[in-house]
Structure 1
Amino acid sequence: MARPSLLPFLLLLAAGPAHAAELACRFEAGTITVPAQVAGIAGDYILDTGAAQTALHETKAQAEGIVAIALTGDVSVGGMVVRAAPLKVQDLDVRTWNLPTPAAGVIGADVLRGFVVDVTYAPCRVRLSAPGRAPRFAGRALNLAWDLGRPTVEAAVSDDAHRLSGRFVIATGANAPVRLADDLAQIPGALRPDELYPEGVFLARLPQVEFGGAVGRDVGAGLMKPEGEAVGLLGGAVLAHFRLRFDFPGGKLVVQPIP
């Protein structure tokens, strides 16, 4: 009797649902980008846990013949797929102008929150795991809460006279180390305070940031308009001092300081 071929069996195994994916990323200008596909459009996308909704860059969408400002489409990151995700189309020039490689859009928390997401900055690696499929990860666990669709944890900042603690949005795609709500922070002597917002190009200096059991000193900081209950935002330049696990299904952010 002829020996049966193993090829159909192997193909069936390969066609099963993926439980995890690990991929190389780039950490440039304080921002993580990953190769992904959104609504059939492949490209490099900003991976931003601090963005509530996944978006296509208006320029890229129009080049692909998309004229709508809202649509639904599949999102694939490293073979992990979210079906029929609500997407928006918007001008992302303010987020992408300083990136060496143009970004096709942003992968937001709405797509990521069904996974356990591990982020390592050097070398830059991102791993997405289905709930219950993530490998062991040791570190300090912080309680995650949600504010306007964005994950937040407790952190604190201080200057020589004041200390501000509260819930900060954790944003892997934010290119400023820290931003503070402008109803809680003041920057005396700023000649162009408008340039301290995300659309601007200036940062002030913040004496101290406390996050995940570690303290950072003399950190770049800008302003943001108040949104929800968050007092501010922590971006890539702060987060890069840690290995991170966003256990979204478990409601935890696990941080492992890098010596």
Structure 2
Amino acid sequence: MRRLQWKKWAVAALWLAGVSPMFSQHYALGSGETSTRKIRFELINNLMVIPLEVNGASLNFILDTGVSKPILFNLADQDSIELKNVSKITIRGLGEGPPMEALRSSGNTFRINRMVNPGQELYVVLDREMNFTPSLGFPVHGIIGYDLFRDFVVEINYNRKFLRFHAPEAYRHKARKGEATFPLEVEQRKAFLSAYVVVEGRQEVPVKLLMDSGSSDALWLFPDPEKGLMVPEKHYEEYLGKGLSGIIYGKRTQIEQVRIGEFVLHDAKAAFPHMESFWQAADLGDRSGSAGGELLKRFNMVVNYPAGELTLSPNAYFDEPFQFNLAGIELEHAGVRYIAQRISDSRGFVRDDTDTFGNVQIMVGNQTKLSLVPEIVVSAIRVGSPAEEVGLREGDVVLAVNGRPVHRYKLQEVLQMINDRKGKRVRLLIERYNRDLMFSFVLRELFE
């Protein structure tokens, strides 16, 4: 199966070859007497995307608790961005490929709202393949984690989509009903939490999980028969993501439950990555896997690196079923296309507020509107899936899902329509070689 983009983030771990640590200043809350700052984020495919300025350039970063230093990529759409004190380095990360060349830059000014770090170190990946914007349907230029969390007590409200940064010395926690506080281990600039999993009806197995908000997946577990972490009989092979050193494959499955303290999540989506992808990693020690965004978003939380504590409170996402790719296809934005619409109002164009992406419009003879919208294409198909069985192909342009034109919806909404629930019939209108074709298939249970 060929992949055209990074479906899921798998860059949580970053190792530097031949690089000595550099001094990096800390963030300050900014002017004024306030001891907190509130920032809104976009929740896209289980990932928190925040606005951030790098030396005055406005960019979008994913907030990733699993990354040690900020990583910058996908700068092609920027007119210019200044980077200070630049040198070449070699970086290694997850994946089975060789290390890659990158840039290291120090002394950069990062600004988030009014929080400022005037001496931020960062790394720049120059590979154009490292671009998540097509698969997210939203421009993303980098990831940031530890250097932001280390300075504050960070309140994450997935429900209302905001972050609140508190000065540790002034923070006073207000206990809420139903919440619980757990130890948070911070090792090598990464945070870990303890949990328990039940796989195929066996006894609970204690696991140490990397807290990885930069992964859109739910749960990764490292195979370990001695601990009782064995791949369930019902599973399928799937592309899990791409690390800085190559592609990561693994076995997708479902496990009975995940328990954090008294909080229990049933029928959880899980993956067992092939461990060859971790060959370049430092000693994994007693780590058992990772908890990603699809699991973490089920809690509002207070992440307190300075005190080594994590407070969790179940939110409205807690009881939602985990999302599987029932259809077996992946989508991405691939350029733009014009769509033509007749205008019935002879007085002229009336704006269609449901046309989410049609922000470039041309009037033709006061009768037709041409709108420039993103083109959504099939970027990958799982072998043996309903989509493959009916003949869908990579590169097919998706025009409509069950009669609804896709240009009216965000990319993640289109994916949700296609993978709504088992037993649903999905009809896709496709353009292939300038021909419109209709494909129909029924979503079925993956693990029957």
TM-score category, normalised to shorter length: 0.7 to 0.9
Q: For residue 215 of structure 2, what is the aligned residue in structure 1?
A: 174
Offset of residue 136 of structure 1: 2.8
**1:27, 1:176 → 2: CA distance?**
14
Q: For residue 147 of structure 1, what is the aligned residue in structure 2?
A: 187
Offset of residue 217 of structure 1: 1.2
Q: Contact 1:44/1:103 (CA < 8 Å) preserved in 2?
A: yes
Q: Which has the higher contact order (CA 8 A, sep 6+)?
A: 1
Q: For residue 206 of structure 2, what is the aligned residue in structure 1?
A: 165
**1:30, 1:96 → 2: CA distance?**
14
**1:24, 1:31 → 2: CA distance?**
13
Q: For residue 36 of structure 1, what is the aligned residue in structure 2?
A: 52
The secondary structure found in structure 2 opposite 1:23 is: strand
**1:113, 1:64 → 2: CA distance?**
30
Q: Contact 2:186/2:305 (CA < 8 Å) preserved in 1?
A: no
User: Is 2:293 the counterpart of 1:256?
Assistant: no
Counterpart amino acid of 1:221?
Answer: A
The secondary structure found in structure 2 opposite 1:34 is: strand
Offset of residue 167 of structure 1: 1.7
**2:77, 2:230 → 1: CA distance?**
37
**1:212, 1:178 → 2: CA distance?**
17
Q: For residue 85 of structure 1, what is the aligned residue in structure 2?
A: 120
> Which runs of 5 or more residues in structure 2 are unaligned?
1-29, 88-102, 317-448
Deviates more, 1:173-182 or 1:58-67: 58-67
Q: For residue 246 of structure 1, what is the aligned residue in structure 2?
A: 303
CA RMSD in angstroms, aligned pairs only: 2.9
Q: Contact 2:219/2:270 (CA < 8 Å) preserved in 1?
A: yes
Deviates more, 1:246-255 or 1:224-233: 224-233
Going from structure 1 to structure 2, the CA distance change for 1:179 and 1:50 (only over 3 Å counts) comes to: same
Offset of residue 46 of structure 1: 0.4
Going from structure 1 to structure 2, the CA distance change for 1:53 and 1:34 (only over 3 Å counts) comes to: same
Offset of residue 169 of structure 1: 1.2
Counterpart amino acid of 1:245?
Answer: V
Counterpart amino acid of 1:134?
Answer: Y
Going from structure 1 to structure 2, the CA distance change for 1:15 and 1:148 (only over 3 Å counts) comes to: closer
Counterpart amino acid of 1:153?
Answer: L
Counterpart amino acid of 1:238?
Answer: L
The secondary structure found in structure 1 opposite 2:301 is: strand
Deviates more, 1:221-230 or 1:166-175: 221-230
Offset of residue 158 of structure 1: 1.6
Deviates more, 1:158-167 or 1:27-36: 158-167
Counterpart amino acid of 2:253?
Answer: A
Offset of residue 31 of structure 1: 0.7
The secondary structure found in structure 2 opposite 1:93 is: coil
Q: Contact 2:66/2:214 (CA < 8 Å) preserved in 1?
A: yes
TM-score with structure 1 setting the length? 0.81
Counterpart amino acid of 2:296?
Answer: L
**1:236, 1:206 → 2: CA distance?**
17
- In structure 2, which of residues 220, 224, 231 is the aligned counterpart of residue 186 of structure 1? 231
Going from structure 1 to structure 2, the CA distance change for 1:109 and 1:158 (only over 3 Å counts) comes to: same
**2:196, 2:181 → 1: CA distance?**
16
Going from structure 1 to structure 2, the CA distance change for 1:61 and 1:162 (only over 3 Å counts) comes to: farther
Report Cα offsets for 1:227-246 as digits up to 9, x if no partner: 53321111121112211001
Deviates more, 1:97-106 or 1:176-185: 176-185
Going from structure 1 to structure 2, the CA distance change for 1:95 and 1:58 (only over 3 Å counts) comes to: closer
Runs of 4+ in 1 over 6 A off after TM superposition: none
Deviates more, 1:92-101 or 1:42-51: 92-101
Offset of residue 135 of structure 1: 5.0
Q: For residue 290 of structure 2, what is the aligned residue in structure 1?
A: 233
Q: For residue 254 of structure 2, what is the aligned residue in structure 1?
A: 205
Q: For residue 109 of structure 1, what is the aligned residue in structure 2?
A: 146
The secondary structure found in structure 2 opposite 1:132 is: helix
Offset of residue 130 of structure 1: 1.4
Q: Contact 1:54/1:111 (CA < 8 Å) preserved in 2?
A: no
**1:171, 1:107 → 2: CA distance?**
12
Deviates more, 1:53-62 or 1:38-47: 53-62
Q: Contact 1:196/1:223 (CA < 8 Å) preserved in 2?
A: no
Identity %: 23
- In structure 2, which of residues 160, 165, 169 is the aligned counterpart of residue 123 of structure 1? 160
Q: Contact 1:85/1:111 (CA < 8 Å) preserved in 2?
A: no
TM-score with structure 2 setting the length? 0.49
